[in-house]
Amino acid sequence: MTDADYKIVPGVGFSKVKFGMRKEQLIELMGQPDEIEEDANYGDSPDDKVTVLYYDQDGFSVSFDKEEKYRLTEISFESDLFVLENGVKIGQTVEEALSLLEKAGYEEPSLEDLEGEVSPNDNTEAYTYDEKNITLWFDDGILQTIQIGPFWFDSDTIKWPK
């Protein structure tokens, strides 16, 4: 992949990986994942099922939501090769990442303190930018995961990228 392929595009995806793709399309494009987690329960209801493909060597994972007919609805980036707007990438401090997004015109994020919830010894915080459907996950003040989803027309309708 080239540098352009590592550019995270909010509401769309990255490279040729776009929200709304089917699992088979993604595998054809990116190859076989390192791991597949079928029908994991990720919500409050037993019907909240997703299939997750892990591309550990490439530093990302993708989720396909049952409620959306198993279309691609979430991408998580865990490699510093991937870059979000204005240079945000894995390994930065909370201050660095939030400052860069503020300079890019992002609204104030909401903060969820998950200390001890993810792992007993972790100091985990999640900063969410609802308008962009982006969450930045920090452990001990260092960015570990950039998680993005598609944009929405309203609370029921996803705005799938073209």
- The encoded tokens of residue 120 equal 């007993």
Question: What is the Cα–Cα distance from 139 to 124, expressed in whole angstroms?
Answer: 4
Can you give the pTM of this predicted structure?
0.91
Q: Are the C-beta atoms of 109 and 128 separated by less than 8 Å?
A: yes
Cβ burial of 116 (10 Å; 0-12, 13-18, 19+) is: exposed
- The encoded tokens of residue 71 equal 């279309």
CA dihedral for 154, 10, 79, 96, sign (positive or negative): negative
Alpha-helix runs per DSSP H in 15-152:
23-30, 94-103
Q: Which residue has the tokens 């894995």?
A: 90
Residues 6+ apart with CB under 8 A from 133: 10, 11, 148, 149, 150, 151, 152
The per-residue pLDDT string of the chain (162 residues; one tens digit each, 9 = 90 and over) reads 777 889 999 999 999 999 999 999 999 999 999 999 987 776 666 667 899 999 999 999 999 999 899 999 999 999 999 999 889 999 999 999 999 999 999 999 999 876 655 555 668 899 999 999 999 999 999 999 999 999 999 988 999 998
**How many helices, marked H, and strands, marked E, lie in the chain?**
2, 13
